[in-house]
Chain A
Amino acid sequence: AQSVTQLGSHVSVSEGALVLLRCNYSSSVPPYLFWYVQYPNQGLQLLLKYTSAATLVKGINGFEAEFKKSETSFHLTKPSAHMSDAAEYFCAVRKRRLSGGGGNTPLVFGKGTRLSVIA
């Protein structure tokens, strides 16, 4: 079964500092990988996704993530944190079929990492 592990339920950074949120996946075949952000009492917004092209993926709001097969990781980074980045971040995985495509497999989410940004 697909799964993701997010290391650190809470990360705190200073405004302007580097943001690093960690995600490791478990899958026999490199899956599709996603990062979502959730603001209080809101749904989830897609930040970026890795499907099969470039291993360094750029997303919205200055975030990016790098797929590293050897480390089974998909860590999320942002060079300079902004106060508006404070939110809950979820890494998610969707199984990739050996024949290609994801079929109807649902997204599986990690438990989330709450990012706090200190002024």
Chain B
Amino acid sequence: DTGVSQNPRHKITKRGQNVTFRCDPISEHNRLYWYRQTLGQGPEFLTYFQNEAQLEKSRLLSDRFSAERPKGSFSTLEIQRTEQGDSAMYLCASRGKANYGYTFGSGTRLTVV
């Protein structure tokens, strides 16, 4: 069990640029979640995958955001035309069938300047 891995750890980008983050979940976990956390707040749910299927999307996930999990293993989260309001920590978590709680990665901190 190597844990949930997220890359990059930090990303600074100019407003209007596109960014992509990657999440590698625990290998036997079939459920994968993306959350966003802004300063002083708890994590907010963005989207959820079971295997390769994206089963739920939050209204927070605007059309500039897209997430994929093509082979049911790693996942990517892309933000197009970034805005300053996108600056946040993006957290990925995974869960196995028999688990109740999630295992989180260390997150990717995005700063849009």
Residues of A within 8 A of B (CB): 9, 32, 34, 36, 41-46, 49, 51, 90, 92, 94, 102, 104, 106-112
- What residues of B have a CB within 8 angstroms of the CB of A106 in the complex? 33, 45, 48, 56
- What residues of B have a CB within 8 angstroms of the CB of A34 in the complex? 100-101
> Whole-angstrom distance from the CB of B2 to the nearest CB of chain A?
14
Do B107 and A43 have beta carbons less than 8 Å apart? yes
Given A106-B48, A111-B42, A45:B104 Cβ within 8 A? yes
- What residues of A have a CB within 8 angstroms of the CB of B40 in the complex? 9, 111-112
CB-defined interface of B22-56 with A at 8 Å, one 1/0 digit per residue? Answer: 00000000010100000011111100101000011
Interface residues in B59-81 by Cβ distance below 8 A to A read none
Given A41-B109, A107-B45, A109-B44, A94:B100 Cβ within 8 A? yes
Looking across the interface, which residue of chain B has its beta carbon closest to that of A94?
A: B100
Q: What's the Cα separation between A92 and B93 when bound, in Å?
A: 14
- What residues of B have a CB within 8 angstroms of the CB of A51 in the complex? 100
Given A43-B106, A49-B100, A104-B56, A90:B42 Cβ within 8 A? yes
Interface centre among A43, A44, A46 (most CB of B within 10 A): A43
Q: What's the Cα separation between A42 and B6 when bound, in Å?
A: 11
> Whole-angstrom distance from the CB of A10 to the nearest CB of chain B?
10
- What residues of A have a CB within 8 angstroms of the CB of B103 in the complex? 46
Give 29 pairs: A residue, B residue, CB < 8 Å, sorted on A.
Answer: A32-B100, A34-B101, A36-B104, A41-B106, A42-B107, A43-B4, A43-B6, A43-B107, A44-B104, A45-B104, A46-B101, A49-B100, A51-B100, A90-B42, A90-B43, A92-B42, A94-B100, A102-B100, A104-B31, A104-B48, A104-B55, A107-B33, A107-B43, A107-B45, A107-B101, A107-B102, A109-B42, A111-B42, A112-B40
